[in-house]
Structures are given as structure tokens and as C-alpha cells.
């Protein structure tokens, strides 16, 4: 029953999306029929309702264990806890594409609802673009990766998965299906993995809105900053979700994959990082267009580039384009995805070139001073794009080109990325320090220098703290200094704002800070985001340059020493059975710092008796402080008696700053995107007074 409901609602959602495209474009451009365009809008809402029904059907099927549905059968099993039953919705390909389509449909409905009245010219085209993307993904769900397929036994005895009942087929018995059900891949049963995909999808999907409005601007000819105003907040929301998705992915790798790291420069990780790079460049350069009317064509390219990178990342993840730990095995959706990506990019670029050749994307100003804020923003864009090119080349460019044209296969490993990206990241941090104190239009170097004095002094003082803490490498101190400077500039500029207010108003510091933020949430939200990136930067430098590791076999009661730490093996708990059926072998350890007991650690190995392929998983034990993570992996143990066991130990300095920086990012983005009426009431009322259709 659920499978039928899901299938039928998905089919109608597909039809509604197609109708919305045709009705909007035909109604606006050719028939000039308001009624037709309005019916297109209604189809958007209908699409959202139907997609909601589809997703809920699959979700209920998962929660109520309808194992005849092959998707449910392949990602869940009777012993799984409800939480993972819920997250199994995006545990495998078919479900995650349905979920992705649903999110995109929801974003489309939201953007349509909010802008329908204010953006009459843009809306029909924006709807067409958004619905085209939705239709593609819903189409993939329907025709290629259907999560509502069910198992059937044919009269010949073969078992097939099919959406419809094959002639003469019968359903397998529920008991046997339940018994053989796969269960979610053990590696994915982690809190980070449960929410990493939806975060990443929200980030990916969110960029469809800026993209669609940019395309609508090109198609409709309304090339004012309207499309930017409409989509800025969506871009911010998408950006923060994408950032969190990346950070959570790192956290998952760190907790689950057991190699003491969080970023392996794996092609698929890189693929998800690529849209982040262009998206971040876009969020900066769009400010230049708003303030100075410059870089109009460039911004169009960036917004298209971001979405194009999103589709490319999805394609790369799911097509097995390059060898990677993440790649879904080569699947049938590879070619359609590629064709869609190609078509979308070509059409978008053609639209830009067309408008541009008609002179409609001409800039209002030109760059004047090398140290004006717009020049620094252009430089910032340049560095982001350079990073994009370098990472794209290393992950996809070199392997694909060598295979196509050189009849060989060349890959670039982590050492390529570690050589190429640090100088670019350093340049970005320098810009992050300098740009906030520069001025629009032209800037005087002397004034910038004065504004940098205090942050420079503070950065130098904090680097001094690192020296006292025992860091002596010049390169590392330089890195810390650059990163800290960016953070201090953000703080000092905020304090400067508060002091300026204090001179004029009689109010306490907190009131000043709040007033400052409410008056210009974008600026101060932006500074907070910079601070978050600074914190992440410190974590990356510390954990990359100063990781320590050792390994040792210990008998019960023995200890190993690493730095100022001492680790004692206390004993072993074998065959502990957890709620979800996993069997855990746990080593018990006590950690001492300078001879003082600080923590009990329990690294373990989990065994999943029901899983068919990957059936064991190593879970590290960690003691986390601001200073570092003491991270222990249970490598092996003497079977039966467990009188001795082998451990691998990592000390990862400052690594926790990466996760905390992520939290700062969220708060900063919430501030920067905080809704604020920018138009004076007088103007708004005037606008409202304009008769409809004017």
C-alpha cells in the first residue's frame, strides 16, 4: 500500500513539475496569460505536497519495516534502533535521491511563496528553472532508481525488484524477507553520518535558488540587483549547511575511519568542497555588485559555477567517475546525470554570453585602486577560483585528461594537495585580515596601516603565547600568525564599532554590541564567520603539523608513554552485546597526564553478525580538551584471554577547534542572514500603492 502511494504521488509530482515549467514559460512569454502563470505556481505547491507524501510513505515503510520494498530491505533490518531506521531514508542511493528531490521541491515552494508578489518578472522563469531541476531528480527516482520497487517471485522462481507486479508473480513471505534484510551499513551508523548527508544535501539544494533567480534575470531581462536581493539569504543558508556538511563529514571520518585524520583529499570529499569554494567567492563578490554595480557578468558565472559544481559533485559521487572510497559503484544514473550537468551548464553560459553581448551586463564602475575593497574582493575571488582550479585539476582534471588523451592514467595524491593549497589558503587568510579595514572606491594605504596596528600587535602577542607553549617551528608560527591576524581584525573592528557608539550614546557595552549588530547584521555576522574560519584554521594547522603517533602492545597493567601522557591497559570486556545487535570487544584504559589520572578510555571493535559485507568496525576512544585530542585505537588483542592488546595512539593538537569553529559559523551566518527591512517604510508603501501589472 505504501509503495503504491509513494509511487503514484511521485509520478504526479513529476507531472506537476513538468506542467509548472510549461505553464510558467508559455504563459509569461507567449500567451501573456496571468492565469496560466498562476497555475504554474500552483503546480509548484502541488509538487511540494506530492513529494512530501512520497517521502513520508517511504519513511513510514522504513519505520514499520515493510521489507517487501527492496529499498527498505537493503538499508534496514529488524534489530536496528528506530533512530537509524529514520536516517536510513538517505542511507542508500534510491532513498537519498528521493530525499534530495523532496528538499529541492521544498526550497522551490518556499522561494516561490516568499517572492511571488514582489518579483513578478522573475518568478515565472525562476519557477521554470527550479522545477526543471526538480523534474530531473524526480525523473531519476521514477525511472532509474526507484525506492518503491518491491520484491516479487516470478513463476520461474526468480526474484526480481519491480515497481509493478509482474504477471503471475507473488510476494515473498514477510518472515523470510525480515530475516534476510541487510541492515544499514555499519560504517554509516554514526551520529555524524546520520546528519552529514542531509546537511550536505541542504547545502547543495539551497544553491538552486540563487542559480534559478540568476537564470531568471537573464531570461527575463530584469538585470537589476533584484535577483541578488531575493537569493542572497538562500545562498547564505545553503552555504552554512554546506559548510556544516563538510565539517560533519570530517568528524565522521575522524571518529569512524580510525586513521586519526578528518580530511583525506579524496576525490569525492574534494567534489563536495568545490561548490563551497565558488559559493564562498560568490557571497563575497556579490557585495561588490550591490554596493558598486560591478562584476555583473562575473557574478553570473559564479552563481552558475556554484550550482554546476553542485550537480557535478552529485554526479561524481554517484557515478564512480574516479576511484574513491566514497564512490557508489558505477550505477545507471551516471550518464543521465552527466548529460543533465552538461546541458545545464551550456544553457546557462550561453544565456550569460547572449545578454553580455547585448551590453546588458555592463558594469557601473571600474576598479580604481589596488587597495580598494573591491580590488581586494576581486583578489579574494581570484584565490578562491585558483583553489577551485587546483583542487578540480588534482581530483578530476589530471586523471580524466590523462585517460582521454594520453592513453594512461595519472592520479595526484595527497602530497599534491598539501603542496598546492597551503600557499593559497595563506593568501586567503591574509586577505581576510586586510579586506575588512579597506574602503570602497579608493583606499589610502596609510589609513589601512593604522587600522592594522592593533590587530597586528594582538596577533604577535598571541603567537608569543604559542612560543611559550612550546611551538618553535617558524613555518607553523607564521601560519598561526596569519590566521590569528584575520581573527583579531574581526574582533578589533567590532570593538571599534562599539567604542564609536559609546562616544555618541549613553549605553552599556552589551546594548552597544546588540545595536551594532542590528544596524548592520551582514557586516558583524560576516566578522563572526571570519572568526569561525580563524578558529577552524588554528585547528587545521595544529592537528596537521603537530600530530604525534605511536603504537605498542601492552599486557594488562602495563603502560605506554607519549609526551606528557601515560596510558595504562586495565582489562578487556569481550562480547558485550548492544541494543542494535552489535557485539562489542572493549579495551579498558586509564589515561594519566603528568602522573595525574584524567580519563578512562574505551576503544573498541564492533562486530555486526547480520551485516553481509562490511561487518566489523573500529571505534576509537578519545579524551578531548581544548589543547588536544588523545585518540586511541584498539588494533588487536590476544584472543580468548585478552591478556595483552595492541593500541595505536594519536595526539591531535587543537583539533577540537575545527568543530567549535563550525558552531561559530552557524551563529555568524544566522546573524548575517537575519531578516531586516532594508527599505524605509515610506518607500515600501509607495511600492504597494503601485497598481498591479504596472
Min dist. Cβ of residue 574 to another protein (A): 16
Which residue from 22, 60, 63, 160 is in contact with another protein, where contact means CB under 8 A?
A: 160
The verdict on 640 binding another protein (CB under 8 A) reads no
**Separation of alpha carbons 625 and 588, rounded Å:** 20
Q: Decide: helix, strand or coil at residue 645.
A: strand
Task: Tell me which residues in 75-134 interact with another protein (CB under 8 A).
Answer: 92-94
**Separation of alpha carbons 632 and 647, rounded Å:** 7
Task: Tell me which residues in 484-543 interact with another protein (CB under 8 A).
Answer: none
The verdict on 400 binding another protein (CB under 8 A) reads no
The verdict on 411 binding another protein (CB under 8 A) reads yes
Alpha-carbon torsion 78, 80, 86, 90, what sign?
negative
Which residue from 5, 39, 139, 172 is in contact with another protein, where contact means CB under 8 A?
A: 172
DSSP 128-192: HHHHHHHHHHHHHHHHTS-TT-EEEE-TTS-EEEESSPPTT-BPPPHHHHHHH-----GGG-SHH
Stretches 20-28, 379-387, 557-565, 572-580: which one binds another protein (CB under 8 A)? 379-387
Min dist. Cβ of residue 601 to another protein (A): 16
Which residue from 151, 211, 262, 527 is in contact with another protein, where contact means CB under 8 A?
A: 151
The verdict on 639 binding another protein (CB under 8 A) reads no
Stretches 154-162, 270-278, 337-345, 461-469: which one binds another protein (CB under 8 A)? 154-162
The verdict on 424 binding another protein (CB under 8 A) reads yes
Task: Tell me which residues in 240-259 interact with another protein (CB under 8 A).
Answer: 258-259
**Separation of alpha carbons 494 and 485, rounded Å:** 14
Stretches 13-21, 353-361, 394-402, 559-567: which one binds another protein (CB under 8 A)? 394-402
DSSP state at residue 436: G
The verdict on 331 binding another protein (CB under 8 A) reads yes
How are beta strands 150-153 and 159-162 bridged, if at all? antiparallel
Decide: 289 and 225 in contact? Cβ < 8 Å. yes
Element (H or E) spanning 217, and its range?
Answer: helix 208-220
Which residue from 26, 45, 116, 328 is in contact with another protein, where contact means CB under 8 A?
A: 328
> Which of 366, 575 has the CB closer to another protein?
366
Query: 429: Cβ–Cβ under 8 A, 6 or more apart, which residues?
Result: 482, 483, 485, 486, 534, 537
The verdict on 347 binding another protein (CB under 8 A) reads no
Min dist. Cβ of residue 566 to another protein (A): 20
**Separation of alpha carbons 239 and 223, rounded Å:** 24
| Phi, psi at 70, each rounded to 5° | -65, -30
Stretches 111-119, 278-286, 415-423, 517-525: which one binds another protein (CB under 8 A)? 415-423
> Which of 15, 154 has the CB closer to another protein?
154
Min dist. Cβ of residue 173 to another protein (A): 7
Please work out the total of residues on this chain that contact another protein, with binding judged by CB under 8 A. Answer: 80
For residue 436, give the nearest of 541, 539, 525 by alpha carbon. Answer: 525
The verdict on 416 binding another protein (CB under 8 A) reads yes
**The residue count for the chain:** 694
> Which of 125, 152 has the CB closer to another protein?
152
Element (H or E) spanning 94, and its range?
Answer: helix 93-115
The verdict on 180 binding another protein (CB under 8 A) reads yes
Which residue from 10, 24, 74, 306 is in contact with another protein, where contact means CB under 8 A?
A: 74
Task: Tell me which residues in 602-621 interact with another protein (CB under 8 A).
Answer: 612-614, 616-618
DSSP 321-358: -S--SSPPPS-TTHHHHHHHHHHHHHHHHHHHHHHHHT
The verdict on 553 binding another protein (CB under 8 A) reads yes
A 10 A CB-CB count for 351 gives 17
Min dist. Cβ of residue 496 to another protein (A): 28
Amino acid at each position: 500500500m505504501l509503495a503504491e502511494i509513494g509511487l503514484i504521488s511521485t509520478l504526479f509530482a513529476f507531472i506537476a513539475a513538468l506542467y509548472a515549467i510549461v505553464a510558467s514559460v508559455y504563459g509569461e512569454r507567449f500567451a501573456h496569460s496571468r492565469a496560466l502563470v498562476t497555475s504554474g505556481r500552483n503546480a509548484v505547491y502541488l509538487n511540494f505536497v506530492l513529494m512530501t507524501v512520497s517521502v513520508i510513505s517511504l519513511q513510514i515503510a522504513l519505520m514499520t519495516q515493510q521489507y517487501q520494498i527492496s529499498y527498505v530491505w537493503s538499508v534496514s533490518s529488524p534489530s536496528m534502533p528506530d533512530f537509524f531506521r529514520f536516517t536510513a531514508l538517505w542511507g542508500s542511493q534510491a532513498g537519498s535521491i528521493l530525499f534530495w528531490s523532496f528538499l529541492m521541491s521544498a526550497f522551490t515552494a518556499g522561494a516561490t511563496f516568499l517572492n511571488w508578489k514582489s518579483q513578478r518578472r522573475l518568478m515565472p522563469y525562476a519557477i521554470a528553472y527550479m522545477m526543471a531541476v526538480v523534474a530531473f531528480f524526480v525523473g531519476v527516482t521514477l525511472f532509474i532508481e526507484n525506492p518503491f520497487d518491491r520484491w516479487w517471485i516470478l513463476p520461474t522462481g526468480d526474484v526480481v525488484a519491480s515497481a509493478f507486479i509482474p504477471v503471475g508473480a507473488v510476494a515473498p513471505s514477510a518472515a523470510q524477507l525480515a530475516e534476510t534484510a541487510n541492515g544499514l551499513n555499519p560504517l554509516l551508523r554514526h551520529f555524524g553520518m546520520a546528519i552529514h548527508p542531509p546537511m550536505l544535501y541542504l547545502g547543495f539544494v539551497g544553491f538552486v535558488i540563487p542559480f534559478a533567480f540568476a537564470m531568471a534575470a537573464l531570461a527575463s531581462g530584469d538585470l537589476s540587483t533584484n535577483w541578488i536581493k531575493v537569493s542572497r539569504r538562500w545562498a547564505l543558508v545553503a552555504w552554512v549547511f554546506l559548510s556544516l556538511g563538510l565539517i560533519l563529514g570530517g568528524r565522521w571520518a575522524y571518529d569512524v575511519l580510525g586513521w586519526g585524520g578528518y580530511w583525506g583529499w579524496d576525490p569525492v570529499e574534494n567534489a563536495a568542497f568545490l561548490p563551497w569554494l565558488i559559493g564562498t567567492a560568490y557571497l563575497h563578490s556579490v557585495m561588490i555588485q550591490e554596493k558598486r554595480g560591478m562584476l555583473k557578468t562575473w557574478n553570473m558565472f559564479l552563481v552558475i559555477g556554484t550550482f554546476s559544481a553542485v550537480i557535478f559533485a552529485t554526479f561524481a559521487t554517484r557515478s564512480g567517475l574516479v576511484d574513491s572510497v566514497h564512490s557508489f559503484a558505477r550505477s545507471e544514473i551516471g550518464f543521465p546525470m552527466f548529460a543533465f550537468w552538461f546541458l545545464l551548464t551550456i544553457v546557462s553560459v550561453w544565456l550569460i554570453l547572449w545578454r553580455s553581448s547585448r551590453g546588458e551586463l555592463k558594469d557601473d564602475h571600474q576598479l580604481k585602486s589596488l587597495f580598494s575593497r573591491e580590488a581586494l574582493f576581486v583578489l579574494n575571488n581570484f584565490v578562491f577560483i585558483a583553489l577551485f582550479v587546483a583542487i578540480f585539476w588534482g581530483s578530476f582534471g589530471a586523471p580524466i585528461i590523462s585517460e582521454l588523451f594520453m592513453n594512461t592514467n595519472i592520479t595526484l595524491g595527497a602530497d599534491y594537495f598539501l603542496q598546492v593549497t597551503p600557499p593559497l589558503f595563506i593568501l586567503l587568510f591574509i586577505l581576510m585580515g586586510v579586506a575588512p579595514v579597506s574602503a570602497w572606491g579608493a583606499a589610502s594605504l596609510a589609513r589601512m596601516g593604522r587600522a592594522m596596528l592593533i590587530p597586528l600587535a594582538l596577533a604577535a602577542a598571541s603567537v608569543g603565547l604559542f612560543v611559550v607553549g612550546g611551538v618553535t617551528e617558524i613555518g607553523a608560527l607564521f601560519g598561526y600568525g596569519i590566521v590569528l591576524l584575520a581573527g583579531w581584525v574581526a574582533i578589533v573592528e567590532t570593538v571599534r564599532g562599539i567604542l564609536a557608539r559609546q562616544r555618541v550614546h549613553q549605553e552599556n557595552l552589551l546594548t552597544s554590541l546588540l545595536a551594532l549588530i542590528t544596524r548592520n547584521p551582514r557586516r558583524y555576522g560576516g566578522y563572526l564567520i571570519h572568526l569561525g574560519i580563524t578558529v577552524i584554521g588554528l585547528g587545521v594547522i595544529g592537528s596537521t603539523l603537530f600530530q604525534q603517533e605511536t603504537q605498542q602492545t601492552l599486557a594488562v597493567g602495563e603502560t605506554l608513554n607519549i609526551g606528557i601522557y601515560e596510558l595504562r591497559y586495565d582489562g578487556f570486556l569481550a562480547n558485550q552485546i548492544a541494543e542494535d545487535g552489535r557485539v562489542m570487544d572493549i579495551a579498558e584504559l586509564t589515561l594519566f597526564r603528568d602522573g595525574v589520572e584524567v580519563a578512562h578510555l574505551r576503544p573498541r571493535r564492533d562486530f555486526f553478525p547480520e551485516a553481509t559485507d562490511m561487518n566489523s568496525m573500529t571505534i576509537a576512544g578519545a579524551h578531548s580538551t581544548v589543547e588536544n585530542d588523545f585518540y586511541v585505537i584498539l588494533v588487536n588483542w590476544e584472543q580468548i584471554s585478552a591478556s595483552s592488546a595492541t593500541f595505536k595512539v594519536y595526539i591531535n593538537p587543537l583539533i577540537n577547534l575545527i568543530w567549535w569553529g563550525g558552531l561559530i559559523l552557524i551563529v555568524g551566518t544566522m546573524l548575517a542572514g537575519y531578516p531586516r527591512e532594508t527599505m524605509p517604510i515610506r518607500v515600501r508603501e509607495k511600492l504597494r500603492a503601485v497598481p498591479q501589472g504596472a
